[in-house]
Amino acid sequence: MRIERRGDEVVIAPLSPERLNFAEMVARMRKLGVPADGVQAREPFEYPERPGLFD
């Protein structure tokens, strides 16, 4: 897995010759740190009315 920071984005992509296990991937992501301006807040999402979906 390739973990790369491009400005405000973190790109996670498979890398065929090198395989990371989950713990190694998390360690690399923590090493990158948080963006300088923090994590962006998302706008609230309103789910559409869909009868029978949540019954």
Per-residue pLDDT tens over the stretch 1-55 = 778 888 888 888 876 666 778 888 889 888 988 877 877 888 988 888 888 876 6
Task: Say if 16 falls within a structural domain.
Answer: yes
Distance CA 47, CA 15 (A): 36
> What pLDDT sits at residue 16?
60
Task: Say if 48 falls within a structural domain.
Answer: no
> What pLDDT sits at residue 18?
64
Task: Say if 25 falls within a structural domain.
Answer: yes
Task: Say if 12 falls within a structural domain.
Answer: yes
Task: Say if 39 falls within a structural domain.
Answer: no
Task: Say if 55 falls within a structural domain.
Answer: no
Task: Say if 28 falls within a structural domain.
Answer: yes
Range of the domain at 17: 2-32
Distance CA 26, CA 7 (A): 19
Task: Say if 21 falls within a structural domain.
Answer: yes
User: What's the number of domains the chain is made of?
Assistant: 1
